[in-house]
Chain A
Amino acid sequence: MTSDVQLATRPADVSARDRVDAAKNLVVSFVLNGKPLSVAVAPTELLADTLREGLGLTGTKVACGTGDCGTCTAILDGEAVRSCLMLTAMVAGKTVETIEGLAGESDIHPIQQAFIDTGAVQCGYCTPGMILAAKALLDENPKPSADDIKEAISGNLCRCTGYTKIIEAIDKVANAVA
């Protein structure tokens, strides 16, 4: 078995700005949105930064940087996590899902559709994290109660909606899945 974390022979040249960052001398391998991937990162690099800056997946938001708001939610081996509090090195050998991985080639995910249909989207900054928290819940518990839904997204802040339509959207998906 080979390790999913390796020291790179030379720092990966990601961008001009990154050249003066700490050396990206760590290669981390993981599965991102269904595809195996290796990225060169600094040992201290946060998963949110790797996703947003290294990989250009800006659907993951960072609104607080302290793990309080949930906008940076990603799914790690089936569990909703805060990508702003995790080192990229910690996901070695694991499976990561971001909002960009949810939609299929021709269809968006039922949770995404439900958020549109119920009017659960306003400014949209919480939306990717909220949808991922909902997906992690429904993958684990396809028939959640209203309290289960409230609990699952209680760490995801939304300042626009009062959560009413978000809860309705998640409930709608749960009840549609026979």
Chain B
Amino acid sequence: MEKLDIVGQSKQRVDALVKVTGQAKYSADLRRPDMLIAKALFAKYPHAIIKSIDVSKAEKLDGVAAVMTAKDLPGRNGYGILVPDKPVIAERKTKYEGDPVAIVAAVNLDTAEKAIALIEVVYEPLHAYDDPREAMKDDAVKIHEQHPAAEKGNILCVLKLDRGDVDKAFAEADIVIENDYETPMVDHAYLEPDIAIAELDSTTGGLILTSAGQAVYATKRCLAPVFGLPQSKVRVVAPVIGGGFGGKEDSTLDVCAVAGVLALKTRRPVYFELTRAEVFRTTGKRHASYIKHRLAANRDGKIVAIDVQTILDKGAYVSMGGTKAPLHGVTMRTLVYAGGTYAIPNARARAYSVFTNHPYSCAFRGFGAPQVQFAVECQIDELAHRIGMDPVAVRTLNMLKDGDMTITGQIMKESRGLGLGECIQKVTQRIKWDQPIDHGKGPVRRGKGFGAFIYGTGIPLAFEGSSAFANLELDGTLNVAVSSTEMGQGIATTVAQLAAQTFGVKYESVDVVFSDTGRSPDSGPTVGSRSAVMVGNAVAEACRQLRSRLLEVAGKQFFQADPSTLTIKDGLVYVEGRPENAEKVATIAARAFVSQVPLSVIGTWFPPQPTFNSADGQGEPYHAYGFGAHAVEIEVDTETGVINVLRSVLACDVGKAINPAIVEGQMEGGAAQAVGYGLMEEPIMAAGVMQNTGFHNYMIPTTKDLPDLESVIVEHSNELGPYGAKGIGEPPLIAGAPAIRNAIYDAIGVKINIIPLTPRRVLEAIRQQAGQAR
């Protein structure tokens, strides 16, 4: 096997130096004095009929370049990644507090804000829905009077999974565990607020949009109809991004749409930035979920069936929630992962996606998996306690092994990497799971908890796959271009390492262009923990093509040798084993150039076609899955309800860590977000109005909330991944919250099935249990 000297090394990030010196240019840093400043008047009422809008005073204000309402738009008043149901500007109705009612461009921010304040809107408020269980009732007011995809009333879709004979299995099972679980909406809380710059493209007559977005090609396709432009005339560029976590797949559309239509109207460049409060109020959130989970098992601990109903808070628009085939989104994942990472022969799952007047629920790290796997991991812990078995032993007994079938009917293969067993072993060793913990005697008690997870690499949509561009320069350096965005996850570095390793030049000889539809081919969106594998494979394919072309020239024109006997390493070409007689890549590239050998190539890679039937939930949605185990030690203050996480040990099977430091970074960041998800983060909604719209009342973890986050990398190679890799961006978040919840049970014997486990919720549960005991 090829010896790897670049892949597998913690190479310095390509963007590290510019980021530590403050030289990295984010979207906000590209603002110029000639740009108009845009502001939006967002809906005063989350659910209302718009009776009238008067913009005349705003238009007359000195310094205002344009005021637009829905009637002034140049194209379709609707967009969305999957379904174009979100208006650029609300026309007849508002459906959440992030709907713009009018938009303004002015010479400066102060004038734009004054103009917004001068717009007069008359509303007729309607009942605003906070709870999908209320909104799905037959007599509920329809939030979308006419929706292109909704099945019935406010129910966007109902997806089903059926496998085996669930009723029989439940009837015959020794033990049935039935619980209700609730998980919250969560804000992505990326530090860089949403920003778009729109400018006319003097070359094409179209638009150039510069915005912190995770999917430049999808943005172009979604918004071209909004601008009334062909897709070829919309260029989308994402500079380095200050965090995305799934949110900037959608929120970039919101800001680009507003900036774009104002630029077309005024024929001037327009800058639009959301305030932090606007980011909280208007951009997408994680789907809140209400889950009824029934699990049937035998006394020996073997799970025989599950029966799961998940109701998702869709918010106001489809976004990445998805519908029936082929537009699968978050809803479909709640079926796929309804049984967690376990082999369960009989399964029934129903997923309801229901509109409310909340911010649209969108992609967020884990994409439906954290919600249902929270329920599963709590259920399996309860199973262990009921039968007096160790919680880890129950998991090991039931976990998916080589040849086992998932509840979607997919056979698991070790050749695609099945490292859960090793993850469990490493985590339990490190946290000394088998040694009893001192639970304490005073008001502060200690406990240990465990969680495990599964997560598919990539997106289970028919188009899944990537293209990448590679250009060998005549001085022996290599340019690679991908449309993936660099939002901190390190894709530019990962791609550079894969290219250098595969082609045979030094890591420092590779430069990566990213996320510009004018300069990169379509590598797909930067979501779904897909880029290292899908884009990585496309880059590797491009580099293999270049390599074989170069070796062909080298063999014929330099070495008089069969190309298969040659190698390229560190920018030198030589007969394998004879590096003393080497030619520089640059020398051979120059010869190739004058021999009509093409040195610009497109590499592509497509995984096996994903399949999934939304009528029965059967199919093979992913070519490979990542796995992991997460254990925590916590302290519960039984007098205040405060939980303190003392230790967090997470092991993830990543197939192959292309850059271990970057992989650890993903794991540590995911573990931190899991603490936020499990303990702290929750938008407080009152009739559709978010009450906590700042970092002082929407709390995310600080250094004071987290322990040293311990990570263990496990590598069970995926035969189809580049050098064996699987996705790692999202998975680290999934099992932390249930591990914390299970640790609380271990510490004080109190079972809480709603997250976040805020001090108030914990105290209430403690008091309720004490009350019942008396």
Give me the interface of A with B, judged by CB distance under 8 Å.
15-18, 20-22, 52-53, 57-66, 68-69, 71, 98-100, 102-103, 108, 112-113, 115-119, 121-128, 131, 149-151, 153-155, 157-165, 167
CB-based contact B191/A69 at 8 Å? yes
> Is B275's CB within 8 Å of the partner chain A?
yes
The 3 closest A-B pairs by CB, nearest first: A59-B22, A123-B488, A162-B672
Task: Apart from A66-B695, A167-B703, list 18 A-B contacts with CB within 8 A.
Answer: A16-B107, A17-B33, A20-B110, A58-B25, A58-B28, A61-B26, A66-B696, A121-B19, A122-B488, A123-B243, A124-B15, A125-B190, A157-B695, A159-B188, A159-B245, A159-B669, A162-B701, A165-B668
Chain A facing B: main interface SS: loop
> Is B700's CB within 8 Å of the partner chain A?
yes
Q: Which residue of A lies closest to B660 (CB)?
A: A119
CB neighbours (8 Å) of A160 from chain B are 243, 488, 665, 669
> Is B108's CB within 8 Å of the partner chain A?
yes
Alpha-carbon distance A16/B188, docked complex (angstroms): 36
CB neighbours (8 Å) of B107 from chain A are 16-17, 20
Alpha-carbon distance A98/B23, docked complex (angstroms): 12
Report the minimal beta-carbon distance from A147 to chain B, rounded to whole angstroms: 10
CB neighbours (8 Å) of A128 from chain B are 20, 22
Alpha-carbon distance A71/B193, docked complex (angstroms): 12
Alpha-carbon distance A65/B694, docked complex (angstroms): 10
CB-based contact B245/A20 at 8 Å? no
CB-based contact B488/A124 at 8 Å? yes
> Is B242's CB within 8 Å of the partner chain A?
yes
CB-based contact B191/A57 at 8 Å? no
CB-based contact B191/A157 at 8 Å? yes
> Is B462's CB within 8 Å of the partner chain A?
no
Report the minimal beta-carbon distance from A40 to chain B, rounded to whole angstroms: 15
Q: Interface size of B by Cβ–Cβ distance < 8 Å? A: 64
- Choose from B23, B63, B669 the contact partner of A59 (Cβ within 8 Å): B23
Q: Which residue of B lies closest to A168 (CB)?
A: B708
CB-based contact B63/A20 at 8 Å? yes
CB neighbours (8 Å) of A22 from chain B are 110
CB-based contact B696/A159 at 8 Å? no
CB neighbours (8 Å) of B489 from chain A are 122
CB-based contact B242/A63 at 8 Å? yes
Q: Which residue of B lies closest to A112 (CB)?
A: B20
Q: 9 pairs across A/B with beta carbons < 8 Å?
A: A17-B34, A17-B35, A18-B33, A119-B13, A123-B488, A150-B704, A159-B243, A159-B700, A164-B668
> Is B673's CB within 8 Å of the partner chain A?
yes
CB neighbours (8 Å) of B190 from chain A are 123, 125, 159
- Choose from B17, B22, B193, B671 the contact partner of A57 (Cβ within 8 Å): B22
- Choose from B21, B188, B276 the contact partner of A100 (Cβ within 8 Å): B21
CB neighbours (8 Å) of A108 from chain B are 17, 20-21
- Choose from A20, A65, A121, A123 the contact partner of B192 (Cβ within 8 Å): A123
Report the minimal beta-carbon distance from B738 to chain A, rounded to whole angstroms: 18
CB neighbours (8 Å) of B240 from chain A are 123-124
Evaluate whether A157 and B193 lie within 8 angstroms (CB atoms) in the complex, with A59-B23, A116-B17, A125-B242 already known. Answer: no
CB neighbours (8 Å) of B245 from chain A are 159
Report the minimal beta-carbon distance from B402 to chain A, rounded to whole angstroms: 33
Alpha-carbon distance A121/B111, docked complex (angstroms): 37
Alpha-carbon distance A81/B468, docked complex (angstroms): 44
> Is B24's CB within 8 Å of the partner chain A?
yes
A-B pair count, CB < 8 Å, reads 181
Q: Which residue of A lies closest to B21 (CB)?
A: A103
CB-based contact A159/B22 at 8 Å? no
CB-based contact B672/A123 at 8 Å? no
Interface string of B155-195 (1 = CB under 8 A from A): 00000000000000000000000000000000011111100
CB-based contact A123/B276 at 8 Å? no
Report the minimal beta-carbon distance from B111 to chain A, rounded to whole angstroms: 7
CB-based contact B669/A20 at 8 Å? no
CB neighbours (8 Å) of B242 from chain A are 61, 63, 123-125
Report the minimal beta-carbon distance from A157 to chain B, rounded to whole angstroms: 6
CB neighbours (8 Å) of A98 from chain B are 22
> Is B378's CB within 8 Å of the partner chain A?
no
Q: Which residue of B lies closest to A169 (CB)?
A: B20
CB neighbours (8 Å) of B557 from chain A are none
CB-based contact A125/B20 at 8 Å? no
- Choose from B12, B17, B191, B704 the contact partner of A123 (Cβ within 8 Å): B191
CB-based contact B22/A16 at 8 Å? no
CB-based contact A159/B13 at 8 Å? no
Interface string of B475-506 (1 = CB under 8 A from A): 00000000000011110000000000000000
Alpha-carbon distance A8/B670, docked complex (angstroms): 52
Alpha-carbon distance A39/B16, docked complex (angstroms): 32
Residues 1-51 of B contacting A (Cβ, < 8 Å): 10, 12-13, 15-17, 19-26, 28-29, 31, 33-35, 37
CB neighbours (8 Å) of B25 from chain A are 58
Evaluate whether A159 and B702 lie within 8 angstroms (CB atoms) in the complex, with A21-B110, A123-B242 already known. Answer: no
CB-based contact A116/B694 at 8 Å? no
> Is B661's CB within 8 Å of the partner chain A?
yes
- Choose from B33, B111, B668, B708 the contact partner of A161 (Cβ within 8 Å): B668
> Is B664's CB within 8 Å of the partner chain A?
yes
CB neighbours (8 Å) of B369 from chain A are none
CB-based contact B192/A154 at 8 Å? no
> Is B143's CB within 8 Å of the partner chain A?
no
Report the minimal beta-carbon distance from B764 to chain A, rounded to whole angstroms: 28
Evaluate whether A154 and B243 lie within 8 angstroms (CB atoms) in the complex, with A59-B23, A63-B191, A123-B487 already known. Answer: no
CB neighbours (8 Å) of B241 from chain A are 123
CB-based contact B21/A159 at 8 Å? no
Evaluate whether A68 and B694 lie within 8 angstroms (CB atoms) in the complex, with A123-B242, A125-B192 already known. Answer: yes
CB neighbours (8 Å) of A125 from chain B are 26, 190-192, 242-243
Q: Which residue of A lies closest to B648 (CB)?
A: A162
Q: Which residue of B lies closest to A119 (CB)?
A: B661
Alpha-carbon distance A65/B13, docked complex (angstroms): 29
Evaluate whether A119 and B10 lie within 8 angstroms (CB atoms) in the complex, with A66-B696, A125-B26 already known. Answer: yes
CB neighbours (8 Å) of B327 from chain A are none
CB-based contact A16/B33 at 8 Å? yes
CB neighbours (8 Å) of A62 from chain B are 28
Alpha-carbon distance A124/B492, docked complex (angstroms): 14
CB neighbours (8 Å) of A167 from chain B are 703, 708
CB-based contact B665/A63 at 8 Å? no
Evaluate whether A163 and B703 lie within 8 angstroms (CB atoms) in the complex, with A66-B694, A121-B16 already known. Answer: yes
CB-based contact B702/A157 at 8 Å? yes
CB-based contact A162/B671 at 8 Å? yes
CB neighbours (8 Å) of A71 from chain B are 191
CB neighbours (8 Å) of A65 from chain B are 275-276
Alpha-carbon distance A15/B193, docked complex (angstroms): 24
Alpha-carbon distance A71/B276, docked complex (angstroms): 13
CB-based contact A163/B672 at 8 Å? yes
CB-based contact B191/A100 at 8 Å? no
CB neighbours (8 Å) of B720 from chain A are none
